[in-house]
């Protein structure tokens, strides 16, 4: 079988001027072929409000809603129930095995039977897997596999929400929300117990609307590098303020404060090391100095030479070393 999944969202924007190629590229989100047969067709790539020209930042709200159904956006992992021989494989868009094992242990058999029937009827059943062990931002209390969509493998058409609810039987289905809820979100009203909304139109087009609090928190809850960059950019007070604002992320504040201290210790240690090395070799010529530090870390070696020059000019070695160490640490953090 052949799996196609995009490696970076930049590809979609490069293809935006070619509608046919753009539509084809949006299918590369975990679609699976066995020869010429499509065996799994999960969601096509769709965008956040303001992320793409289809739905610019200032798009009229009535166009976002149109005749669509508003659904809760769950904070988990997309899972497709794929028929492989006589069994069902629970696959993410990259077919991560650990999710398959988790869901197989969770399922008492009803999900597998449901997925087999859906596949027999020509559909890929699409779920969201939420679990305390897989927390992103929202702290779900228990594991659950929630049906969010059913897509025809050949045509790509999505089963309408009402029909999907009827088809699901006792399988949990994503909650439908009111258009008033969505309008409040578009107008900046936050609620801290959900990620946002998905608007699904009858033609299959979809749009994500993430709540402001989730967008702000997700960056720091899911990326230590983002926290370290904020520390480097001297914006950590703003980050702590954001995290303290929401119950779901207050527990991260202690970790952020610890990382801030660790970064400060790293900078101080590196500055002391570099200044000490330069001071210990002040009696050497530049050629002797260069030969003596040949084995030093290549990434930090330029700082040694710059601090050595500052020494020759009678400048403040500690001040320059601190500035240069922070700059190079910032490059590592992106």
- Exposure of 109 by Cβ count < 10 A (0-12 exposed, 13-18 middle, 19+ buried)? exposed
Q: For the stretch 127-165, what's the b/e string if a residue is b when 16 or more beta carbons lie within 10 angstroms of its beta carbon?
A: bbbbbeeeebbbebeebebbbbbbbbbeeeebbebeebe
- Nearest alpha carbon to residue 46 among 252, 239, 204: 204
The overall pTM is greater than 0.85: no
**Residue 68, phi then psi, degrees to nearest 5:** -85, 165
- Are the CB atoms for 86 and 197 separated by under 8 Å? no
Q: Domains, the chain, ranges and CATH?
A: 42-211 (3.30.470.30), 223-333 (no CATH)
pLDDT in 10s for each residue of the chain, 334 residues? 555 565 555 555 555 566 677 677 778 777 888 888 999 999 998 877 766 555 444 444 555 666 789 999 999 999 999 999 999 999 888 776 889 999 999 999 999 999 999 999 999 999 999 999 998 888 899 999 999 999 999 999 999 999 999 999 999 999 999 988 888 877 766 677 788 999 998 888 888 888 877 877 887 777 778 888 888 888 888 888 878 877 767 888 888 888 889 989 999 999 999 999 999 999 999 999 999 999 999 999 999 999 999 999 999 999 999 999 988 887 876 5
Q: Are strands 123-130 and 87-91 parallel, antiparallel or unpaired?
A: unpaired
Instruction: Report the distance separating Cα 81 and Cα 90, nearest Å.
Output: 5
Q: What H or E segment, with its residue span, contains residue 4?
A: strand 2-5
* Residues contacting 139, CB < 8 A, separation 6+: 132, 248
> Residue 148 carries which DSSP code?
E
In angstroms, rounded to a whole number, what is the distance separating the alpha carbons of residues 254 and 240? 9
């Amino acid at each position: 079988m052949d799996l196609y999944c995009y490696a970076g969202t930049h590809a979609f924007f490069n293809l935006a001027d070619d509608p046919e190629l753009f539509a084809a590229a949006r299918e590369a989100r975990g679609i699976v072929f066995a020869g010429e047969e499509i065996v799994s067709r999960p969601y096509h790539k769709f965008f956040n409000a303001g992320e793409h020209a289809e739905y610019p930042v200032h798009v009229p709200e009535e166009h976002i809603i149109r005749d669509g159904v508003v659904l809760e956006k769950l904070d988990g992992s997309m899972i497709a129930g794929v028929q492989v021989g006589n069994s069902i494989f629970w696959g993410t868009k990259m077919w991560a095995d650990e999710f398959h094992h988790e869901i197989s242990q969770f399922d008492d058999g009803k999900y597998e039977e449901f997925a087999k029937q859906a596949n027999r009827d020509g559909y890929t059943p699409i779920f969201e897997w939420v679990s305390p062990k897989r927390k992103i931002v929202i702290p779900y209390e228990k594991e659950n596999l929630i049906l969010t969509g059913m897509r025809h493998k050949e045509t790509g058409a999505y089963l309408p929400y009402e029909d999907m609810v009827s088809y699901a039987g006792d399988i949990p289905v994503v909650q439908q929300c009111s258009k008033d809820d969505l309008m409040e979100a578009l107008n900046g009203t936050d609620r801290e117990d959900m990620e946002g909304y998905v608007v699904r139109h009858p033609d299959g087009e979809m749009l994500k609307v993430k709540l402001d609090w989730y967008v702000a928190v997700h960056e720091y809850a899911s990326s230590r590098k983002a926290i370290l960059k904020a520390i480097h950019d001297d914006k950590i007070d703003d980050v702590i303020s954001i995290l303290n604002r929401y119950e779901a992320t207050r527990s991260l504040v202690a970790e952020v404060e610890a990382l801030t201290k660790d970064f400060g210790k790293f900078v101080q240690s590196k500055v002391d090391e570099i200044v000490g090395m330069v001071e210990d070799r002040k009696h050497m010529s530049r050629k002797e100095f260069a030969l003596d530090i040949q084995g030093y870390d290549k990434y930090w070696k330029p700082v040694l030479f710059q601090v050595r020059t500052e020494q020759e000019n009678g400048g403040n070695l500690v001040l320059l070393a601190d500035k240069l160490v922070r700059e190079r640490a910032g490059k590592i953090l992106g």
